[in-house]
Amino acid sequence: MATEEELFASVDALLEEEPQLPPPAERARLRESAGITQARLAQALRTTPQTVKNWENGRSEPRPPRLQAYRRLLEGWAERRQVPGAATVPGEGHPVDEARPQLAAQPQLASAAASLAPRPVPDRPAAPTPAPVPEPAAPVVPGEVAAPASGPPAVDAGARTARRPATARRPAAALRNRAVPNIAAPPFQHGPLVVLDGDGNAFGAQGVVQDCPATTLVELVEWTLGEAHLGAARLHRNGNDSDPLVVLTGAAAVKLGLPERLETAEQRRSLRLADDHPVVKQIARAKWKLTQRGFGPWARVYRPAKAGRRQCVQFAVLSWDALDTRSWPGVAELEPPEIARVLGVYAQRVLTPRGSTAVSGLELMTALRPPTRAVKDEATGQWVSGHNPGSLGTEPVDPAPPEATPEHPVVVNGGWTGGFLDEEAYQWVRDVDLLSDAECMLPWAVGLDLNVAFLAAASRLTVGLSAPDHFHGPRFNAKIPGSWLVDLSHVELDPRLPSPFTPNGRRPEGPAWYHTTTVAYAQELGYNVTPVEAYLRRETGAFLDPWHDRLRSAYLDTLADLGVTKELDDAGFLAAMERHKETDPAMAAVLAAVKATVKGGIGKLRERPQGRRYKQGEPWPAMERPTWRPDIRAAVISRARVNMHRKMLRTAEATGLFPLAVLSDCVVYPSPGRSPLDFLPYTTSGKPLPGSFRLGCSPGLAKVEGVQEVAWAVDLMEQGHNPARHIKGDGHDAAFDEGE
């Protein structure tokens, strides 16, 4: 039997638990008695009407700091309105005082909750007989007609006024006619996408919530195209509007007849439903079509366009891993409204997701540089489709043999044996024999990462737009994009720096194929170049410029949301970067997606064949698109690598410091302190040395990737490992894959 002391301890533990709330029905009654709508309460507590609805029907409970603000508001309504029969909120002490410490960190919630609390009714002389308390006017739900006012029912003296039962709910008609704010121009006034939960709630961008009555996938397609008003306007006047995106939670997928997960071995291998799955059959019976990819994590359901109008809905199934954790860290685990917020911001700043971030990065290129435009046929006077200057056109072009991959038909069927371009990102580690005693005595190894280095390299980059032409013995011209066979083995550089001409940083051993940017850098360093052969393109242009500009803005705007702006000095920038991911995890996920869009989009320009059944020399699907352009990918990576070498060379000339290792856009330096401010070169006026590494948030500027001890870095180097890969110390590679 428990002792008195043990019982008292148990009671004290209960008293110390998180403050609780009245029953759900009582919460609704208190709000209705105050004349406050769910929408207004949601606005004050910085949440959604559906969340408030869930609180009031018992489906979910608020969490701090909203818990304390909500509790304070309910207590205020109960006390100030003196609602008959109002339940007292459990907990010791004054509820408002208990809430204040928690609300101090979220003053906007406290002030918002206070703004909703009704003003106290001034004291009045006591009536000779008790008078009934009048029923407060019920809020009018959009789509309903308010009932005519009527006098209070006749009651005996001292009787309590009859009230609406606490379990009353809005009629189904009101739910179907829920007022939805317009956040864009028609016909896409409800935004680009929705996230559908298992209860039929469709959460959109900027807090939009709609009620979706669909119970089958076909009904969902028809609702999306007919009633939801979803989609996004084209990014270029000659392009196409973005199709609406419906993101399905696991519960929504099950409700629509889809498996919660792709469970069978065949499903996992093909990442799609079998053709005889009931949902696939249902789509076919309704005369809708699926693309060749079938119904997988990302799927398109469409009908051929009518009168130039597209009929297509895009689906993403969260429980099938549609949102990759490396590109969208933590997003799939968020609540549907937050998922809609993240994807909505990405859609606004980049484009409506159309698959992986790599796919979206590639699609963005076409959306901003459409292949065709309307031109007038002078012979007939009719408007017809014609080539859009500056684009890649509608037909794919074969690469030059050295630009192709070893399995490409141009190589296999043509018998090419002349070598290939090797324009890849750096993977270099300095020989430990070249480390000085002074370097080894420095305590810290600091990793610097260049912000979206591939994006910076794409800025104002001239690339080829047409098919290549073959030349023998050409004179080198740095303004013509292409591939050059040239010998750069005579270029003498400090061995403590990687060679700018090879991804492994070793000195070339003889003639090899290089992109124009790499050969031009050899000239910049003062060496003569004499090409033997070249594959050059006559039609050129800055194809990636609009892509660069849009993604640059998306990157900077999202960083600004996280408190990292261009106005910060170097010390302020470093401090802001240390805490930016904790400022708003949802926006941090958007930032990760933007960065993955850059690298993945560049990688998709040379997508390799996939599948165990592929045979060398056969074409693969990626080759059929005009954006399969390995030469453009080589141009971007070549420029990024040259930019990195130029900064390392300038830093070495100014400070005598040389890197320990480089991995893609991450470089590791020995340092006397933990901060890059301890070794980066500055002018006498305190400005960063021109041409060297510079801290900042803009693409191409540097931030800290990680800090470890020099002894740790040297130990990895002696084992043949690259310290730049592990400098973060969190188990993740410093460099992201290129989407291949």
- Burial of residue 105, with CB atoms counted within 10 A of its CB: 0-12 exposed, 13-18 middle, 19 or more buried: exposed
Q: How, if at all, do strands 533-537 and 540-541 pair?
A: unpaired
Average pLDDT (18-36) is 80
**Could you read off the pLDDT of 262-271 as tens digits, one per residue?**
876 566 667 8
User: Residue 135: is its pLDDT beyond 60?
Assistant: no
Distance CA 663, CA 680 (A): 19
- DSSP per-residue codes, 49-102: HHHHHHHHHTS----TTHHHHHHHHHHHHHHHTT-TTPPPPPSSS-HHHHHHHH
Give the number of other CB atoms < 10 A from CB of residue 451. 21
Q: How many CA atoms lie within 13 A of 237 on its CB side?
A: 1
- For residue 708, the cross-strand partners are 445
Percent of the chain with pLDDT over 90: 68
Residue 696, pLDDT score:
96
Whether the pLDDT of residue 127 is over 60: the answer is no
Per-residue confidence band for 79, with pLDDT thresholds at 50, 70 and 90 = confident
* pLDDT on residue 120: 44
Cα 289 to Cα 300: distance, rounded to the nearest angstrom: 8
Burial bucket for residue 381 (CB in 10 Å: 0-12, 13-18, 19+):
exposed
514 CB contacts (<8 Å, ≥6 apart)? Answer: 421, 423, 483, 484, 486, 488, 501, 638
Give residue 86's pLDDT: 42
The 10s digit of each residue's pLDDT in 680-714 is 999 988 899 999 999 999 999 999 999 999 999 99
Q: What is the pLDDT of residue 23?
A: 86
SS3 313: strand
Confidence of residue 585 (pLDDT cuts 50, 70, 90): very high
Mean pLDDT over the full length of the chain: 85
> Would the pLDDT of 674 be above 90?
yes
**What residues have CB less than 8 Å from 235, skipping those under 6 apart?**
351, 364, 367, 368, 550
Q: Which two tokens stand for residue 474?
A: 């050409």
What DSSP string runs through 656-682?
----SEEETTEEEEEESSSSGGGTS-B
Assign 51 a pLDDT band (cuts: 50, 70, 90).
confident
113-122 mean pLDDT? 47
pLDDT for the residue numbered 109? 53
Q: How confident is the model at residue 83 (pLDDT cuts 50, 70, 90)?
A: very low
The predicted-structure confidence for 307-327, as pLDDT tens digits, reads as follows 778 899 999 999 999 999 999
Is residue 480 a contact partner of residue 498, using CB atoms and an 8 Å limit? no
Q: Are 279 and 248 in contact (CB under 8 A)?
A: no
pLDDT value at residue 104: 42
Q: Is 569 exposed, middle or buried (0-12, 13-18, 19+ CB in 10 A)?
A: exposed
Return the SS3 of 636. Answer: helix
| HEC per residue, 464-484 | ECCCEEEEECCCCCCCCCEEE
Enter the tokens of residue 661: 């290792």
- Per-residue model confidence (pLDDT) at position 180: 86
- Phi and psi at 66, nearest 5°, equal -65, -30
| Residue 29 binned pLDDT confidence (cut-offs 50, 70, 90) | confident
* Two tokens, residue 54: 């869930």
**Using only C-alpha atoms, what is the Rg of the chain?**
32
Q: In the predicted model, what is the mean pLDDT of residues 16-38? A: 77
Residues 6+ apart with CB under 8 A from 476: 484, 486, 519, 523, 529, 530, 531
Residues 489-528 have pLDDT tens digits of 999 999 999 999 999 999 999 999 999 999 999 999 999 9
CB 638 within 8 A of CB 409: no
**What per-residue confidence (pLDDT) applies to 28?**
86
* pLDDT beyond 90 at 640: yes
Architecture of domain 20-116: Orthogonal Bundle (1.10)
Could you tell me the pLDDT band of residue 9, with boundaries at 50, 70 and 90? Answer: low
Compute the distance between CA of residue 552 and CA of residue 546 in angstroms, rounded to an integer: 10
User: Average pLDDT for residues 170-175, to the nearest whole number?
Assistant: 38
Average confidence (pLDDT) over 552-576: 95
The answer on pLDDT for 65 being more than 70 is: yes
pLDDT at 148 over 70: no
Considering 58-67, 268-277, 716-725, the range whose residues carry the highest mean pLDDT is 716-725
pLDDT of 350: 98
- When pLDDT is cut at 50, 70 and 90, the band that residue 731 belongs to is low
Please state the pTM of the whole predicted model: 0.76
pLDDT of amino acid 8:
63
And the tokens for 2?
Answer: 């428990």
Pairing mode of beta strands 444-450, 383-387:
unpaired
Q: Where are the domains of the chain?
A: 20-116, 184-355
